[in-house]
Structure 1
Amino acid sequence: MSDYSIILKPVYSQTVLTPEGVQLPENWSLSWHQAATLEALCDPSIDVVFNTAMTGDGKSLAAYLPAMTNCTSTLAMYPTNELARDQEKQVQSYKNQFQPTKHDLQVYRLNAAILEDFIETTKLSSKQAALLNRAINSEILLTNPDIFHYIHDFRYLRRNKQGKGDNANKLFANIDNNYNLFIFDEFHIFSSPQITNVINAILLIKHTVPGKQFLFLSATPNELLQDFLSQAGLRYRVIDPVKQNAYKFSLNETSKSWRQISQPINLIFPQNIEPNIRSSYDWILNNAETTILKFFQTYPGSKGAIILNSIAAVKKLIPKFKALFEPLGLQVRENTGLTGETEKSRSVIEADLLLGTSTIDVGVDFRINFLVFEAADAGNFIQRFGRLGRHKDFEIYQAYALLPNFIIERLFERDLHPLQDGETYDRITFSQAIRDRYSSINDFRQYPQRWGGIQSTCVYSELLRLKHYYPEAAQNFGNDVQKALKISVNKKYGQIKHCQSEGKQKVIDEARNFRGSSQLDCAIYDDTNRNEPESARFKTYNLPSLISNFTFEWMEKPQFIQQAKQAGLLTTRFEKALCYLKLTGYREIREDWHFYHSGDISTIAKSSKVQVLKGLQVSTGINDVSKALYQRGLVCYISDCDRATLRAKLGLPIHFQAYSLSDRLNDRKPAYTIAFGQSALLLETLIWHWEPREDEGWIC
């Protein structure tokens, strides 16, 4: 049975006359969406702008045009460190080309590790002082939405256990005063908890430091976010080039003012890929020489990427491809969550073949003409496929989509299938076909009402204490957030008090986190890549993935901390790790294991409540790991439905933290599922609506 193959047409974006008063570099022109975004951001009646231009059509330039043409101070948030690093280079390039005349724009990038290093080198007293220093001295600050959230959740204040100390506005008001535009890039990758937290921050800013604007860059804007904005009375504008007919897929001699943003692409769908990690891995192994290496030999000068869901698969493939490619003078590099920062920054530039995971599929612009990729859902497919064809000067552009066989059947074989083997399609038609034929992923729409309002209520409480500074802010914020999320602040107060009375403050803390806490994160010393600098070998990684995919040895905490200090590292981020391990290798076959608890799991599951549970162990691995796990109280939710059934029935995302659980150590078919941290709150929300019951004190 032969593989299916289609051709994607090139894409052309409409350019427009330069807006009056805007000075562009020589021989530059703006796409329609860039000029429309600039116009919207110049309109003081607009609070929020969404730019939905296609991948590769210059959304970043649209975002930074106000800074480059009018020196608008800008705070930008990027979901991955790799994307922030990529965008820092892009902004510096804009600055060099536009050369803003009013004053020299200072550009700075900030994440948790950079923040700690900055505190150490400048001898500042706290994270609060460091954040204020960077904000005051940076006209353009690139960070992540996590730091933005924690600033607006009052995390960096100096207070005692009774809550006395800094006023809530000491940090957020000073930082927000310094910026006029707030950018959220690739925000579609987030779910309802992050959307809720960002709505809270926007409303906090609106009622304390008014007049700011917010720009969301995403080819697939989130409907839930737009609903919240409308319900809260925030005015927004969507810049949509598709609806404007600002894209073409062919040009004739009379066509003018169109710029090519994507090259034509040959896309192949290999058949017989099973819906498991091993099947894609095996296809890559079997085709490493006959398909992948052959492409590079046939088309010298090619650059390629393989983007997979599993770090372990990437790690196992790296030495195999190095053995094939490096004798021919071709460099093979990796870029995953376990790759050191030095290697990450160099790999995108230096690799002939780059193997990576989600660290490179979110917005990073790298020059390739060959792509092999997996896709967990429709958005993930469009995101990863969008890495290809963005740069000209290659002879051919080739992609292989490693999709499960049931998706291939829906696309090419079933009744009313949207694609035909050998045909040519435009990007809009093709993207819609992908969206229609992929299974829907749960968007956890009920979460804001059930759990998201907890953070809203905490913000409201802080505003009540700031009436001297903002007399009407608490009332206005409360009114808006209740309309947006459809919550009652008073009921949320009761929910918080009930949790606290049952000793479940950890549950409240989890609901206030941005991406959830790192309850199962282990500190690791990576001994598998001897080419990494010593300082880059100290990392964190979650326990379930370690057990499933890696081999490791136990390390005592003092030994680990001492080695990290000797490597010149600050060790703050390792202090609360679950345990300390040395990574020694990768499993060829994924380990079959489950969580184990000797207590009455049936009773806990029937309670349908989020728990803070001790006494968990794992069914395999080092005993010391189970001992460390056993002693820690973990925010979790237990379902009496097995993991596979639960995932299928609820449409859970691929990386959702839900694992098999049993009360028997040697159980081959565990009947229960346990979810941790934010995933526990999300799962509880779904099951509560799935099996509605009388609300006993809400959730605790």
Structure 2
Amino acid sequence: MSNYKITLKPVYSRPASTLPTGVTLPSDWSSLAWHQAKTYEALQDPSIDVIFNTALTGDGKSLAAYLAAMTQRTYTLATYPTNELGRDQEKQAQGYKAKFKPQHDPQIYRLNAAVLEEFIATNKIPSKLEGLINRADNSEILLTNPDIFHYIHDFRYLRRNKAGKGDNSDRLFQKIDNNYNLFIFDEFHVFSSPQITNILNAILLIKHTTPGKKFLFLSATPNELLQEFLSNIGLRYNIIDPVSQEAYKFTNEEGWRQINFPVDLIFPRNLEPSLSSNYNWIVENAETIILRFFQENTESKGAIILNSIAAVKKLLPKFQELFAPLGLKVRENTGLTGETEKSKSVEEADLLLGTSTIDVGVDFKINFLVFEAADAGNFIQRFGRLGRHGGFDTYQAYALLPNFIVERLFEVDKHPLQNGDICDRITFSNIIRAHYGYINEFKQYPKRWGGIQSACVHLELNKGNMKAQYPEAANRFEVDIQKALGISLKQKYAQLFHCIKESKKKIIEEVRSFRGSSQLDCGIYDTTNPDEPEQERYKIYNLPSILSNFIYQWVDKESFINEAKKAGLSINRFERALCYLKLTGYREVREDWKFYCSREDLSEIAKSGKVQVLKGLEATAGINQISGALRRRDLVCFVSDRNRSTLRAKLGLPIHFQAYSLSDCMEDRNPPYTIAFGQSALLLETLIWHWKPQEDEGWIC
């Protein structure tokens, strides 16, 4: 037997028994879903501050979020973790506006870093601060990302000199928070403890300076860490959970709405847990499984969702050639895909090849799916893209999982699944969570590092003008954040000032970033897609992935910046790049390389168990100019004297965790050290700072 197969039952969602007061539905709608009505009611309840909606993927959480904006003129700021999801939700919001036809005609605007820069340049606006204020003044519904939301509430974008003189601390955040009454955070489960802590700091800042606002978190997987923090301070929250309220059924019932169609889910056996195994399976089965499905099921739409951009790029021409005789379009959607291609790919592709840009919440109509999954949440997220829309005769998915996970599901003692099983989605999701494998949640981060960002917020609240404007805010924020995180702000101040005194401001910058400061990001000019518009060939991408997967040429900074300007681009996002490269192709075989550092004290650094600001790093792959750029840069990092494979296995590190092999010997084939960068360095330190050095392992019980 080469494959295991199970069938997932359809899912039906309970309708609301009555419409909430003040809601009138479009004429062709019969009712709201139960969770949509409950979410709307919670948003109107003055005794509730935070709402969590945990409805299943495909059950209309977006309408639950925007219903108040369409019916009650609730000004709304919504955040989305990926640009693709933001684009998808902009279409959703515009669709609701067309359906509900609100009398106040809310203006909807989508904003990310690139859009903001373009808006500023086009309209000759003097600063990002003025650009953000302009957009807030002219958008009743503003869709952005949580990064921008965080930086607004971390007092970025303000105009200040080196002495800290300039804009008042509330110049921007007060404007934003006064404008909007509802703040939405979609798919927030994709984030880890640093982002959760940063958003909590922002919520508490809003609570104590502009009270009465509502916060809505949309995720099929509720965030227990955030709920714990809210409980610690008594912030009132409500969980809208259709599963616990038996608001889902798996057989048709009159009046219930079908939100998922039955799916055949197939698990290929004997896939090795290696980088090439899934890629090879796709290549080997491109005709016999993937193409044949489209030949036998005409009018089908499909997607292949992988972890590696390079894998997508290498597969794209193979599938384009394979599908062309059928007149079918094969498109890509990855972090390196230009905006024009991204905007068209989801709707126009017959087969879409993508990465995490399309697996987080994007609603596209497919009946065939092949996917990898880095962890249980990632599996559920990606599998949730399939079976959301009717109009197909059959729905089929292939889950490309390592053999040891398939064995846990189907073969080992007390395995939960049998070949041929028929299973409901809720039970199946719980099985995946229980048997997939452990991924670290870094629960010590808020106490160790997250509290430093809290101290920075508290510092701003204690400034003279802020004390005058919000006399109780600093004290109340201090009480709440100490309860929530279990910290002492006095100790966090000491940690903050120690880093400043030791000339380690870069560490503080890393703590105050949202997803990390991208120290290893390079400016790239991408020539691999000949149809891409010139402007969209200028991109940002991280060095380790480039070294592993791409063919490239060196470009000097002045030439790169000048050409970007000629293309009509704002060059701010490229100014701090590590180096500048021209991508010319993709490697068929992944490059084997490591970081190298010739410092004599490397072993002592590894033993220290501390986050460092390190200089003198090189890479054993690539061209000399890249190592030269690395050597000159001060990098926030953490060095461990355990090798990378050991750490990943022992600690359950996420797949894209920035930890790499490191050696003090250029020819070393088994690098003894691991180096983590940026936010990953802070996270890793919270896990292993207390470990004894490897040479003292005998002391460890």
TM-score, normalised by the number of residues in structure 1: 0.98
Structure 1 match to 2:326 = 328
- Look up the SS of the partner of 1:15 in the other structure: coil
Q: Deviations over 1:464-487 (max 9, x none)?
A: 111100010000000000000111
Q: Please report how far the alpha carbon of residue 365 of structure 1 lies from its aligned counterpart in structure 2 after TM superposition.
A: 0.3
Structure 2 match to 1:208 = 209
Q: Please report how far the alpha carbon of residue 604 of structure 1 lies from its aligned counterpart in structure 2 after TM superposition.
A: 0.6
Structure 1 match to 2:352 = 354
Structure 2 match to 1:194 = 195
Structure 1 match to 2:139 = 138
- Look up the SS of the partner of 1:30 in the other structure: coil
* Residue identity opposite 2:527 in structure 1: D
- Look up the SS of the partner of 2:285 in the other structure: helix
Structure 2 match to 1:406 = 404
RMSD: 0.9
The alpha-carbon distance between structure 1 residues 689 and 234, as it changes in their structure 2 partners (threshold 3 A), is: farther
Q: Please report how far the alpha carbon of residue 21 of structure 1 lies from its aligned counterpart in structure 2 after TM superposition.
A: 2.6
- Look up the SS of the partner of 2:12 in the other structure: strand
Counting matched residue pairs gives 688
- Look up the SS of the partner of 2:554 in the other structure: strand
CA distance in 1, matches of 2:219, 2:615: 41
- Look up the SS of the partner of 2:215 in the other structure: strand
Equivalent residues in 2 for 1:337-352 (5 A)? 337-352=335-350
Structure 2 match to 1:257 = 255
1:508 counterpart = 2:508: yes
* Residue identity opposite 2:180 in structure 1: Y
Q: Please report how far the alpha carbon of residue 257 of structure 1 lies from its aligned counterpart in structure 2 after TM superposition.
A: 2.1
Structure 2 match to 1:681 = 682
CA distance in 2, matches of 1:472, 1:19: 37
- Look up the SS of the partner of 1:169 in the other structure: coil
Q: Please report how far the alpha carbon of residue 567 of structure 1 lies from its aligned counterpart in structure 2 after TM superposition.
A: 1.4
Structure 1 match to 2:237 = 236
- Look up the SS of the partner of 2:417 in the other structure: coil
Q: Please report how far the alpha carbon of residue 691 of structure 1 lies from its aligned counterpart in structure 2 after TM superposition.
A: 5.6
State which of 434, 437, 443 in structure 1 corresponds to 2:435: 437
Equivalent residues in 2 for 1:363-442 (5 A)? 363-442=361-440
Structure 2 match to 1:289 = 287
Structure 2 match to 1:58 = 60
* Residue identity opposite 1:152 in structure 2: H
CA distance in 1, matches of 2:690, 2:286: 47
Task: After superposing the two structures, state which structure 1 stretch, 143-152 or 14-23, moved more.
Answer: 14-23
CA distance in 1, matches of 2:278, 2:318: 15
CA distance in 1, matches of 2:122, 2:304: 38
Gaps spanning 5+ residues in structure 1: where? 693-700
Q: Please report how far the alpha carbon of residue 10 of structure 1 lies from its aligned counterpart in structure 2 after TM superposition.
A: 0.2
Identical positions, percent: 72
Q: Please report how far the alpha carbon of residue 689 of structure 1 lies from its aligned counterpart in structure 2 after TM superposition.
A: 5.2
Q: Please report how far the alpha carbon of residue 643 of structure 1 lies from its aligned counterpart in structure 2 after TM superposition.
A: 0.2
* Residue identity opposite 1:641 in structure 2: R
Structure 2 match to 1:580 = 580
Q: Deviations over 1:68-111 (max 9, x none)?
A: 1101000000000000000001100000100112x110000000
* Residue identity opposite 2:675 in structure 1: I
1:623 counterpart = 2:624: yes
Q: Please report how far the alpha carbon of residue 518 of structure 1 lies from its aligned counterpart in structure 2 after TM superposition.
A: 1.0
Maintained 8 Å contact 2:523/2:581: yes
Structure 2 match to 1:698 = none
Equivalent residues in 2 for 1:293-312 (5 A)? 293-312=291-310
- Look up the SS of the partner of 1:468 in the other structure: helix
Structure 1 match to 2:150 = 149
The alpha-carbon distance between structure 1 residues 689 and 211, as it changes in their structure 2 partners (threshold 3 A), is: farther
* Residue identity opposite 1:640 in structure 2: D
* Residue identity opposite 1:505 in structure 2: K
CA distance in 2, matches of 1:277, 1:301: 32
Q: Deviations over 1:109-136 (max 9, x none)?
A: 0000111111111111110011011111
Q: Please report how far the alpha carbon of residue 20 of structure 1 lies from its aligned counterpart in structure 2 after TM superposition.
A: 3.0
CA distance in 1, matches of 2:169, 2:686: 30
1:124 counterpart = 2:122: no
1:318 counterpart = 2:316: yes
The alpha-carbon distance between structure 1 residues 691 and 97, as it changes in their structure 2 partners (threshold 3 A), is: farther
Q: Deviations over 1:523-559 (max 9, x none)?
A: 0000111011111111010000000011100011111
- Look up the SS of the partner of 1:467 in the other structure: helix
Q: Deviations over 1:330-367 (max 9, x none)?
A: 00000000000100000001000000000000000000
CA distance in 2, matches of 1:588, 1:271: 24
CA distance in 2, matches of 1:398, 1:601: 51
Q: Please report how far the alpha carbon of residue 459 of structure 1 lies from its aligned counterpart in structure 2 after TM superposition.
A: 0.4
Equivalent residues in 2 for 1:153-192 (5 A)? 153-192=154-193
Structure 2 match to 1:472 = 472
Q: Please report how far the alpha carbon of residue 690 of structure 1 lies from its aligned counterpart in structure 2 after TM superposition.
A: 5.2
Structure 2 match to 1:659 = 660
Structure 2 match to 1:591 = 591
Q: Deviations over 1:223-245 (max 9, x none)?
A: 00000011122100000000000
CA distance in 1, matches of 2:272, 2:506: 40
Q: Please report how far the alpha carbon of residue 178 of structure 1 lies from its aligned counterpart in structure 2 after TM superposition.
A: 0.3
Structure 2 match to 1:485 = 485
Q: Please report how far the alpha carbon of residue 2 of structure 1 lies from its aligned counterpart in structure 2 after TM superposition.
A: 2.4
CA distance in 1, matches of 2:630, 2:152: 31
The alpha-carbon distance between structure 1 residues 485 and 689, as it changes in their structure 2 partners (threshold 3 A), is: farther
Q: Please report how far the alpha carbon of residue 666 of structure 1 lies from its aligned counterpart in structure 2 after TM superposition.
A: 1.1
Q: Deviations over 1:237-274 (max 9, x none)?
A: 000000000000012xxx32200000000000001111
Equivalent residues in 2 for 1:547-558 (5 A)? 547-558=547-558
Q: Please report how far the alpha carbon of residue 678 of structure 1 lies from its aligned counterpart in structure 2 after TM superposition.
A: 0.3
* Residue identity opposite 1:532 in structure 2: E
TM-score, normalised by the number of residues in structure 2: 0.97
1:46 counterpart = 2:48: yes
CA distance in 2, matches of 1:591, 1:342: 30
CA distance in 1, matches of 2:194, 2:533: 36
Q: Which portions of structure 1, spanning 4 or more consecutive aligned residues, are displaced by more than 4 angstroms?
A: 689-692
Structure 2 match to 1:538 = 538
Equivalent residues in 2 for 1:8-87 (5 A)? 8-16=8-16, 17-28=18-29, 29-87=31-89
Q: Deviations over 1:276-335 (max 9, x none)?
A: 220000000000001000000000000000000000000000000011001210000000
CA distance in 1, matches of 2:665, 2:208: 54
Maintained 8 Å contact 2:22/2:72: no
Structure 1 match to 2:696 = none
- Look up the SS of the partner of 2:461 in the other structure: helix
Gaps spanning 5+ residues in structure 2: where? 694-701
